[in-house]
Structure 1
Amino acid sequence: MSEALRISTNRDELDTALIHRFLSTQSTWAKGITFALVQKSIANSLCFGGFVGASQVAFARIITDYATFANLVDVFVLPEYRGRGYSKQLIDAVVAHRELRGLRRFTLATADAHGLYERYGFGTPSRPANLMEIYVPNIYEMAVAQ
């Protein structure tokens, strides 16, 4: 049986270097993101760190106004810790968080974890024709090249 994941929303406990390393080199959505941008995103979000012992092994970040809307982003479990139920424990903590209850809309984007999020009530947008975005997929890599 895997050790339980200890979840904390205390930003002071986060291993920002580890988060940056994963996002900038291993994620499919934030390749090349700078350390400064990761720091800024953490400072302006509700963050969840997942820890085994003293080591951070998982992360999730919520962009929210705490009243009507939240967007779940930057979710990961380090590769060597996958398959132990840590993603479920992390998302359990996110959806149960007192500051995120009763929101009108809670969104996320995923390429490959639909099954995980469907367990928590996430589904395709109720009105996809109403949603719009400005999407620059490789913005961080473009910034490095300039």
Structure 2
Amino acid sequence: MDQISISTQFDDIDIDLVHCVLSKSYWSKGIPKDVMVKGMQHSLCFSALTPEGRQVGFARMITDRATFAYLADVFVVEAYQGKGVSRLILDSIANHSELQGLRRMMLATRDAHDLYKKYGFEKIENPEIFMQSWNPDVYKSNVN
């Protein structure tokens, strides 16, 4: 993966590609592009790029950069899966200067528990203290 680089520059994000992937994903199915972009603008985004600047992976940290961060929207395009791109993205997140010393980082995943365990994530010890306001159909009501 020497040829893949990680950028946190917003201008390096291929908005159309990210929207194509996220709008079909189980976690943000149907997300409107303008909603996705607004979320990205208020997050610390990580883009995996080929030497030609083509985006092959993405993740974003929703964070106050002082105490808390939530890892979201992690993906690697199919042609680059299994080649270490997700580890490269997660290494960049783990070592990013604005994400050091946080009290808590969280994420939700259906199927990548083993990957995230390598970066210190573990099951919530006391999930009964957490609450959520959940509207899984919000994007369906916002369809243009």
Give the TM-score, by structure 2 length: 0.94
Q: Is the 8 A contact 1:31 1:138 kept in 2?
A: no
Identity %: 45
Q: What secondary structure, in the 3-state scheme, does the structure 2 residue paired with 1:106 have?
A: strand
Written as runs of structure 1 = structure 2, the 5 A alignment for 1:46-125 is: 46-53=44-51, 54-125=53-124
Runs of 4+ in 1 over 4 A off after TM superposition: none
Alpha carbons 1:68, 1:104 under 8 Å: kept: yes
Shift of 1:127: 2.1
Gaps of 5+ in 1: none
Q: Which runs of 5+ in 2 are unaligned?
A: none
Instruction: Judge conservation of contact 1:46–1:63 (CA < 8 Å) in 2.
Output: yes
SS of the residue corresponding to residue 140 of structure 1 reads helix
Q: Is the 8 A contact 2:6 2:49 kept in 1?
A: yes
1:23 and 1:141 map into 2 onto residues whose CA distance is 14
Alignment of 1:32 onto 2:30? yes
Contact 2:32 2:142 in 1 (8 A): no
Is 2:28 aligned against 1:41?
A: no
Give the distance between the partners of 2:91 and 2:126, measured in 1 at CA: 26
The alignment's TM-score, normalised by the length of structure 1, stands at 0.93
SS at match of 1:12: helix
Shift of 1:3: 4.7
Deviation at 1:80, TM superposition (A): 1.6
Q: Distance in 2 between matches of 1:142 and 1:74?
A: 21
Please state how far the C-alpha of 1:137 moved relative to its aligned partner. Answer: 2.1
Residue 125 of structure 1: SS of its match in structure 2? Answer: coil
